[in-house]
Structure 1
Amino acid sequence: MSELALRPMRRRARLIPNGWAVFAFGVAFFAVLPIVVILTTAMEDTGSLWSHVVAGILPQATRTTLTLLLGTAILVTVIGTGCAWLVTAYRFRGRAFLEWGLLLPLAVPTYIMAYAYMDVLSPLGFIQGVIRDLLGYSSPREFRLPDIRAMWGAITLFGFVLYPYVYLTTRMMFLTQAANLVEASRTLGTSRSAVFWRVALPLARPAIAIGVSLALMETLNDIGASQFLGVRTLTASVYTTWIVRNDLAGATQIASAMLIFVVVLIWLERFARRRQRYATNAQRSRAMAARPLTGVKGALAFTIGFLPIFIGFVGPASYLLTAAIRRIEFAGISPHIVQATINTVAVSAAATVFVLVAGFVVAYASRIRSGPWSGSFLRLSTLGYAVPGTVLAIGVLIPVAALDRFIDRSASDWFGLSTGLLFMGSGCALVYAYTARFLAISSGGIEAGLSRIPTSYDHAARTLGYTSTGSLLRVHLPLSRTALTAAGLLVFVDCMKELPATLLLRPLNFESLATLLYGEAARGTYEDAALAALVIVAIGMLPVTLLARVGTSSSEPAALRDRAQDDRSGGPVSEADSEALVTRMVR
């Protein structure tokens, strides 16, 4: 058959989707459905509700949110970038501990941080009591510190919890900057401090922008800390409008305004690095030589680096441990804590399975049939992570509640039975929200893991007669165990810590550790929630430990890394070598 006759057949083959592409489309559809529902619902005519939202809620909530985002952005940039440069450019006693210890605040959710410091820094708390004793005062009426329930308190707490996002990305950029760039600037007479401002910092701007955008999205997603600290952000306004005022339409319209914030944050992150181009030969570059600090300078450097760890992790963790021990000694372990732990683990585990399966589907579909459609499915599946949990909860509630009503009405008409809230009452809606929100973690991590597997392995498996599904089971899954494990761990912990979506979509009489903590703190019974908070922090340590190992060790086989590098660079990996290795794997 001639080449001209084959071309129409090839075009038709590309237009016919395979099974993986169909599944990837389904995943992308369900991931983006809540966002579409929010936008379409917000555009419906609600009479005078929208005018009330615009006049009475949006202006104040928008100003408060912008102030909180701006203050948090400045603080996380200063702390994260400064600590990253400190542990990269200088060598002193204790630096090895600071390198991974500066990630510890990631284990403390923002609402737990606010919960702990509200009790510790209250007028009747331990710190103010010690200060009054030292100054000779006898009661809070005579002396009291400024109330932490204010904007400055929220900015401070958010900054010391979320700076690791900037620290992690910026430190990796500093580590990959070639030493010859720094040495060249030093030969031109540039001081070490000027090297930071004129060389290292400009090159790290893309990494800083990424870290700041992640921190701001976490700030926008928060509801517990904002409520505890009396800061009425857009997220808190959505919750109040929906739950307290029973106005779902108004909450939907505020949620649509929050989507604009998300789009602006993403655009700002892209805009900040639109002209940034940085390339280096990772195989030949040398790490920057760290300047040794000894004596007083070394001690001062360690103290500066340890301060964010103390404020963001050691302080709240010590308080939680002490309060939990006191509570256990006084009343034992409450059965509500046990039940909340079981509920949290069960729902988080179920959501993790769905997230991993869905993430692998879109990532693998993008690998085996690269193109604009599969790439679009992969990008659409990641949109949920940029959407705050309260917004996503509304987008999930409306279609799931409509489906529950349809099933209940159909069952009543056909069988005379009432199914009730089949999906809302069973927790399926909550699992759906978790899946849509954290799918980006799974698909991104799995895609990165699959990208390290040479494409020659796919070709070798095909020559042995294996389909794409057979290659997945025999080749890609075994080589992706590390990526799957890491993604599953991160998703599970994020599901356990998620408060906004859980608070709004949980079934009746269902408490997770996060919602139990929120309820006890809202009632002012801090001791009862200390154990729940301590469990969340302890489990949150798992991904921090994983992140601390990044760059220091790898469980990936060295032969696979070498072959992947050779395959990407057009090196010596041959089809015969790949076929021999794949043959051993599949047999």
Structure 2
Amino acid sequence: MPAPHSPRWPRLSAALLQMLLLVVGLVLALPVLALAMAWWQLDAESIDLLRHLADTVLPRYIATSLLLCLLVALGAGLIGMATACAVTLYDFPGRRFFEWALLLPLAAPAYVVAFAYTDFLQFSGPMQVFLRDTFGLQGRLFPEIRNVWGAAWVFIFTLYPYVYLLARTALSERATQLMEAARLLGAPMRRRIVEVALPLARPAIAAGIALALMETLADIGVTFYFGIQTFSTGIVSAWKVMDDRYAAAQLATMLLLTVALLLWVEQRAQRRMRFAAPRGGRGGQAEAQPVRLQGAGRWLVWVVCGLPILFGFVLPVLFMLRPLIGGWDVLPWSGFLEWAYNSLWLSGLAALLASAIALGLSFMQRAQPSRIGGLVTRVVSLGYAVPGVVIVIGILLPVGWLQAAAPGSGVGFWVTATVLGIVWAYLVRFTAVALQSVQSGYARIPNSLDDSARMLGSTGPALLWRVHRPLLLRSIAAAALLVFVDVMKELPATFVLRPFGSDTLAVVAFQLARDERLGEAALPSLALVLVGLVPVILLSRTLRRT
């Protein structure tokens, strides 16, 4: 075997890494490729079913999805924009608190918030029961929340932080300086906001809304529980109820094209979010301070910033705490440890593999840039935009083909009855999260350090292990943590692909709520919220340092 420092070693290791990258890229891209291949596998029966869907439920899927997306876009855009302007352009008591507290709804999965509101506001819930008993009222006092308007309410108050975060970042770069210049030119506050702040934040708002809509279209927890007919629920119904994988694949392709359009809008808006820093360094920033609010202005901004936190995090958590306090003995404590264990080890395994793949891809593109490596990296980085239900269909389609071609191969067993299928889905979906974190860590390592290491004999894997790994430990840990939390909360792929007897906290919370055992669903739901708080806290600390 040649020595690690010999000329052949780098060429050999680079070739092996290129092959490994190609295999990884194909495996992670296979679900999307399978959906495209499904159009060439249509038979007469599937075509008739597609025509039947187009004549019956497909218009409803499109109309409901469009209405839901329109409501979420308007609500999340307005709330995110208003809160970002409030904490960036104004100075008021409590501003520091609201800067990080407005991120708290990110910790609560949308389906958990839906369970909490339904449990508290339904006909037999504590609110309506209290009002009927206290004031002698009869019948339903509040409208039914389980409809498209209730789903829009849930999505708006759980997804507005995407818009808030990006708009706040864009405004903090130049808004105060340019608004100060506009003030010196005599422009009133209303004109400064409309003509200066909002145009600066427009690309960020568009990117945040696109992210919120991608999450809305990918959801099945809220839409299934509320009985809403969207593309996601239609895909699952076509597969599970109609037992037609090709119809499900066609619907999944339509959803994927819609998400791809939103992703293009988001990336185009992100490319426009670039502003030149003011001359004079930090001194220019010190001269332009946010406007200090007095009197009624403080109350108004407290309401603007406080209501999203109240509706998106505080009230849902309080609603879930009520069953824990009032019915401690009836909570499913016996199964909680098993569900938590399944969630922890699946999340840990996916986080470890995703971080390793992200590290390998990032290192290869840094050490040996190539078109293949760039293509594989781009394919992997798009995985987070693919809805979980689409990934499930994309995985099960080729499994069905292989099973039909080789009935005794046992491919279906290994994918659906073991952790192989569900971990595969996790990697397709969340390796992009780890890749972004590792790449940001590599951006802080100068290339001159690699040249010095090569002169000292560290090349190939030795360069990665001895030089890069110690410098990337924090980025790798952040990547693993983000993937871990995302997998803990993931529902669509876990619900369909989990092995028998491997229920997770997310799946159990959904099943208990679907069976109207909302009090018991509070325990796993709160556990998911507590786990989700970890990245929110880290993100808040990062923003404060920035």
Query: What TM-score, normalized to structure 2?
Result: 0.92
Which of 149, 153, 170 matches 1:152?
A: 149
Structure 1 stretch displaced more, 419-428 or 474-483? 419-428
Query: Which residue does the alignment assign to 2:231?
Result: 234
Query: Which residue does the alignment assign to 1:538?
Result: 530
Query: Which residue does the alignment assign to 1:349?
Result: 348
Query: Which residue does the alignment assign to 1:434?
Result: 426
Amino acid at match of 2:360: V
Contact 1:384 1:392 in 2 (8 A): no
Cα distance in 1 for partners of 2:89, 2:397 equals 52
Contact 2:121 2:128 in 1 (8 A): yes
Q: 1:493: how far off?
A: 0.6
Q: 1:266: how far off?
A: 2.1
Question: Structure 1, residues 289-316: CA drift from partner, whole Å, max 9, x if none?
Answer: 1222244432332232111001000011
Query: Which residue does the alignment assign to 1:99?
Result: 99
Contact 2:489 2:506 in 1 (8 A): yes
Query: Which residue does the alignment assign to 1:579?
Result: none
Contact 1:384 1:436 in 2 (8 A): yes
Query: Which residue does the alignment assign to 2:381?
Result: 382
Query: Which residue does the alignment assign to 1:563?
Result: none
Q: 1:405: how far off?
A: 7.3
Contact 2:399 2:412 in 1 (8 A): no
| SS of 2:56 mapped into structure 1 | helix
Contact 2:175 2:200 in 1 (8 A): no
Amino acid at match of 1:394: I
Say whether residues 1:205 and 2:202 are aligned partners: yes
Query: Which residue does the alignment assign to 1:189?
Result: 186
Query: Which residue does the alignment assign to 1:71?
Result: 71
Contact 1:61 1:233 in 2 (8 A): yes
- Alignment RMSD, CA only? 2.4
Query: Which residue does the alignment assign to 1:169?
Result: 166
Cα distance in 1 for partners of 2:411, 2:176 equals 67
Cα distance in 2 for partners of 1:333, 1:384 equals 35
Q: Which runs of 5+ in 2 are unaligned?
A: 1-9
Cα distance in 2 for partners of 1:248, 1:508 equals 22
Which of 460, 466, 474 matches 2:458?
A: 466
Report the CA distance shift for 1:130/1:113 in structure 2 as closer, same or farther (over 3 A).
same
Contact 1:408 1:420 in 2 (8 A): no
Query: Which residue does the alignment assign to 2:485?
Result: 493
Contact 1:107 1:541 in 2 (8 A): yes
Q: How does 1:413-428 map to 2 (within 5 A)?
A: 421-428=413-420
Query: Which residue does the alignment assign to 1:220?
Result: 217
Contact 2:391 2:493 in 1 (8 A): yes
Contact 2:81 2:163 in 1 (8 A): yes
Cα distance in 1 for partners of 2:193, 2:133 equals 44
Structure 1 stretch displaced more, 39-48 or 342-351? 39-48
Q: 1:166: how far off?
A: 0.7
Report the CA distance shift for 1:439/1:199 in structure 2 as closer, same or farther (over 3 A).
same
Contact 1:178 1:286 in 2 (8 A): no
Q: 1:253: how far off?
A: 1.4
Query: Which residue does the alignment assign to 1:368?
Result: 367
Q: 1:183: how far off?
A: 2.1
Q: 1:101: how far off?
A: 0.5
Q: Which runs of 5+ in 1 are unaligned?
A: 1-12, 411-417, 555-587
Cα distance in 1 for partners of 2:454, 2:57 equals 60
Query: Which residue does the alignment assign to 2:334?
Result: 335
Say whether residues 1:449 and 2:448 are aligned partners: no
Contact 1:359 1:439 in 2 (8 A): yes
Query: Which residue does the alignment assign to 1:108?
Result: 108
Identity %: 37
Contact 2:331 2:519 in 1 (8 A): no
Query: Which residue does the alignment assign to 1:518?
Result: 510
Question: Structure 1, residues 305-335: CA drift from partner, whole Å, max 9, x if none?
Answer: 11100100001111112212333x2235432
Question: Structure 1, residues 401-432: CA drift from partner, whole Å, max 9, x if none?
Answer: 5567778725xxxxxxx797133211110001
Report the CA distance shift for 1:156/1:333 in structure 2 as closer, same or farther (over 3 A).
closer
Contact 2:162 2:212 in 1 (8 A): yes
Matched pairs, number: 531
Q: 1:530: how far off?
A: 0.9
Amino acid at match of 2:456: L
Query: Which residue does the alignment assign to 2:390?
Result: 391
Contact 2:324 2:522 in 1 (8 A): yes
Query: What TM-score, normalized to structure 1?
Result: 0.85
Q: 1:38: how far off?
A: 1.2
Amino acid at match of 1:389: G
Query: Which residue does the alignment assign to 1:59?
Result: 59
| SS of 1:231 mapped into structure 2 | coil
Report the CA distance shift for 1:19/1:419 in structure 2 as closer, same or farther (over 3 A).
closer
Question: Structure 1, residues 493-516: CA drift from partner, whole Å, max 9, x if none?
Answer: 110100011111111233111111
Cα distance in 1 for partners of 2:146, 2:40 equals 36
Report the CA distance shift for 1:405/1:473 in structure 2 as closer, same or farther (over 3 A).
farther
Query: Which residue does the alignment assign to 1:578?
Result: none
Amino acid at match of 1:375: G
Which of 16, 32, 37 matches 1:35?
A: 32
Contact 1:400 1:424 in 2 (8 A): no
Contact 2:351 2:480 in 1 (8 A): yes
Q: 1:41: how far off?
A: 1.4
Say whether residues 1:127 and 2:127 are aligned partners: yes
Contact 2:131 2:137 in 1 (8 A): no
Question: Structure 1, residues 479-532: CA drift from partner, whole Å, max 9, x if none?
Answer: 111111111111101101000111111112331111111111111111111101
Report the CA distance shift for 1:180/1:435 in structure 2 as closer, same or farther (over 3 A).
same
Q: 1:250: how far off?
A: 1.6
